[in-house]
Chains A and B, each alone.
Chain A
Amino acid sequence: MRARTAATAIAGPPLVLLVAILACLPWLLSDYELSLALHLLSYLTLTVAWAMFSGTTRLVSLATSAFFGVGMYTVAMLVKLMPLEAIFAVAAGIGAVLALVVGIVTLRISGMFFVIFGFGLSEMMRQLMVWWEINKTFTMGRYVRVNFDNTMIYEHLLGLCVLAFAAGFLLRRSRLGIAALVIGEDETVARQVGIDVPFVKLAIFVLSCVLMTLVGAVMAPRFGFINPNIAFNPLISFQVVIMALLGGLKRLWGPILGVLPLIALSETLEVEFPFWYSILLGLVFMAIVYFLPRGAVGLIDDAWERLGRPMELPRGYTGWLRDAGAGVARAWAWLSRPRTLPGGFTGPIEGWAKRQWRRLVPEER
């Protein structure tokens, strides 16, 4: 596809350079910084993938952690049977099938069902896996011990992240992406311009879910020990929705603005005060819904628009003089306004007498 505009030509080389620098980071960072980078990259990819579907079609998906967990658990179960890269492929396949099933069942009806279905999906997967582990394999949790250190995880995540951004970028300039945009605006219109609404939704949903599954799969070796409660953690879905909404959905780079502050928050709070973290996240989230419905991107867009408006020209020192003059005039007006004189101690009595007089002799109308 050739979608070259002046903007892409200018922005292209620096972006390639940026990715190259990011790819070198593992050799420059300390262990702690690297793990922080992993945390950041995994959420960034999840959020971009989330925004790819929910940002355009406006169907809120609360099922992120279900797909993340599926990826992670696939690795946990197959790690002793095949090489890791093959498992990633299997995980992507399972994620795609699950997304297809969920999408086919829920997306053709109203958006409400989709949201509800996603809401409980991860909890149900968790229950199913717990049941499976207890009754079939008699374990509770598995160890993932492979030769796949943080540097490898980082490079894979970076690849996924670039892939997600590239997919988002191309999607915005493609048949499918424009269809999604129109669907998000008005489904009746979408049908009337010839868009196959359920198919478009399904295609983008599957794409976004496969990305999420892969993030889970790649992150599995990082956790080392995995049980259903770790893999299918509803907090992941929640954080992703917050990050995406905080950043704003209108622009491709919106998620970056959302991920950075929340990762900072979670790094400082999550380990030491996990419950406070949950409360604070909830409050932040409600604040976004109430006060920042377009996210940080909305703020930036507004600022940009304000910059683009005709500015007031500088007024020089005459402006100051005029202001000073106006101030003097205002002070003079204030001083010379008509006022009532203080009534003194007889004032209240006089007032009372006046009121009585009025009661006796009503004013003529």
Chain B
Amino acid sequence: MAALLEVSGLRKAFGGLVAVNDVSLAVSAGEVLGLIGPNGSGKTTLLNLIAGSLRADAGTIRMDGEDVTRLPNHKRVRRRINRTFQLVRVSKDIPVIVSVMAGLLHGAERAPYKDASYDAAGILGELNLLLKAGQRLDQLTYIEQKRVELARALATRPRVLLLDEWLSGLGPGELDGGMSVVWSLAAQGIAVILVEHVMTAVRALCGRVAVMNAGAKIAEGPPDQVLRDPEVIRAYLGDADA
């Protein structure tokens, strides 16, 4: 199966600090790729590069064979790449359903205005948010806010979805629900890149895991194998001799 999203040789430096150094990744439709690594290893920067919030210094990003490296953020959304934010971006004044409608109206499929509210209600319904449709984002609980983030991203009809610690901060019971949502996304054929610290979720969901440390990719493979890799353990726990 040909990869849907291909990233090769991606590099980004902030001044002297190389946050992402020559990283290559590929993910195909329906696959969940885990992206793990210690804090500050460049995972979120990599997501920002793929989503288009930041411009890469070097390297290419190909979506379905098309080069999207130079496209701005909103055009990549229309090429069906979307993401959720690590820190939920809370809107104070607009109702939940409006932000989802905005995604439908301006995303990849640019739904006609008269359908937008119905479709938005459908997406909110799938995520058990229908009863919250008229509320403002700051009236919701943290978990609901995270789901609204996802709903907003799904409204643009992505084929590649970047989830930035979307499962973090959920309690044990909520984690199961969250995991089944991610699983169902993959079952719909969406390629998911999951940046996550919750290892149970990574083991359960991901067929493949890439590990980053200090901006570089240091390992890739099935989760069980990768997590036993001595270099990965060293990256997380430091040198045994130190």
Q: Using a CB–CB distance below 8 Å, which chain A residues touch chain B?
A: 1-3, 173-175, 178-179, 181-182, 185-186, 188-197, 250
Known: A185-B94, A186-B89, A188-B53. A195 touches B114 (CB 8 A): no
Known: A182-B99, A189-B99. A194 touches B156 (CB 8 A): yes
Q: Which of B34-90 contact A (CB under 8 A)?
A: 51, 53, 72-74, 77-78, 82-83, 85, 89
Candidates B53, B72, B91, B106; contact of A175 at CB < 8 Å:
B106
Total A-B contacts with CB atoms under 8 angstroms apart: 80
Known: A193-B107, A194-B78, A194-B156. A188 touches B89 (CB 8 A): yes
- Asked if A179 and B89 sit within 8 Å, CB to CB, the answer is no
- B157 to chain A: closest CB distance in Å? 10
- Asked if B53 and A3 sit within 8 Å, CB to CB, the answer is no
Candidates A3, A185, A194; contact of B106 at CB < 8 Å:
A194
- Determine the distance from Cα of A173 to Cα of B155 in the docked complex, in whole angstroms: 18
Candidates B72, B77, B92, B102; contact of A179 at CB < 8 Å:
B102
**Does chain A have a CB within 8 A of B223?**
no
- Asked if A175 and B155 sit within 8 Å, CB to CB, the answer is no
- B212 to chain A: closest CB distance in Å? 22
Which residues of B sit under 8 angstroms from A3, Cβ to Cβ?
A: 113-114
- A36 to chain B: closest CB distance in Å? 36
- Asked if A195 and B113 sit within 8 Å, CB to CB, the answer is no
Residue of A3, A175, A194 ringed by the most chain B CB atoms within 10 A: A194
Which residues of A sit under 8 angstroms from B110, Cβ to Cβ?
A: 175
- Asked if B98 and A178 sit within 8 Å, CB to CB, the answer is yes
- Determine the distance from Cα of A185 to Cα of B102 in the docked complex, in whole angstroms: 12
- Nearest A residue to B112 via CB reads A175
- Asked if B105 and A189 sit within 8 Å, CB to CB, the answer is no
Which residues of B sit under 8 angstroms from A181, Cβ to Cβ?
A: 94, 98, 102
Which residues of A sit under 8 angstroms from B102, Cβ to Cβ?
A: 178-179, 181-182, 190, 193, 195
- B170 to chain A: closest CB distance in Å? 22
- Asked if A194 and B113 sit within 8 Å, CB to CB, the answer is no
- Asked if A175 and B83 sit within 8 Å, CB to CB, the answer is no
- Asked if B152 and A189 sit within 8 Å, CB to CB, the answer is yes
Which residues of B sit under 8 angstroms from A175, Cβ to Cβ?
A: 105-106, 110, 113
Which residues of B sit under 8 angstroms from A185, Cβ to Cβ?
A: 91-94, 99
- Nearest A residue to B100 via CB reads A193
**Does chain A have a CB within 8 A of B103?**
yes
- Determine the distance from Cα of A179 to Cα of B101 in the docked complex, in whole angstroms: 10
Known: A175-B113, A182-B94. A194 touches B74 (CB 8 A): yes
Which residues of B sit under 8 angstroms from A191, Cβ to Cβ?
A: 53, 72-74, 77
- Nearest B residue to A182 via CB reads B102
- Nearest A residue to B72 via CB reads A191
- B107 to chain A: closest CB distance in Å? 4
- A175 to chain B: closest CB distance in Å? 5
- Asked if B99 and A193 sit within 8 Å, CB to CB, the answer is yes
- B93 to chain A: closest CB distance in Å? 6
- A360 to chain B: closest CB distance in Å? 63
- Determine the distance from Cα of A199 to Cα of B19 in the docked complex, in whole angstroms: 31
**Does chain A have a CB within 8 A of B108?**
yes
Which residues of B sit under 8 angstroms from A189, Cβ to Cβ?
A: 89, 91, 99, 152
- Asked if A193 and B156 sit within 8 Å, CB to CB, the answer is yes
- Determine the distance from Cα of A191 to Cα of B72 in the docked complex, in whole angstroms: 9
Q: Mark B105-124, 1 if CB is under 8 A from A, else 0.
A: 11110100110000000000
- Determine the distance from Cα of A190 to Cα of B85 in the docked complex, in whole angstroms: 13
- Determine the distance from Cα of A188 to Cα of B101 in the docked complex, in whole angstroms: 16
Which residues of A sit under 8 angstroms from B105, Cβ to Cβ?
A: 175, 178-179
Which residues of A sit under 8 angstroms from B73, Cβ to Cβ?
A: 191-192
- Determine the distance from Cα of A196 to Cα of B83 in the docked complex, in whole angstroms: 17
- Determine the distance from Cα of A175 to Cα of B73 in the docked complex, in whole angstroms: 19
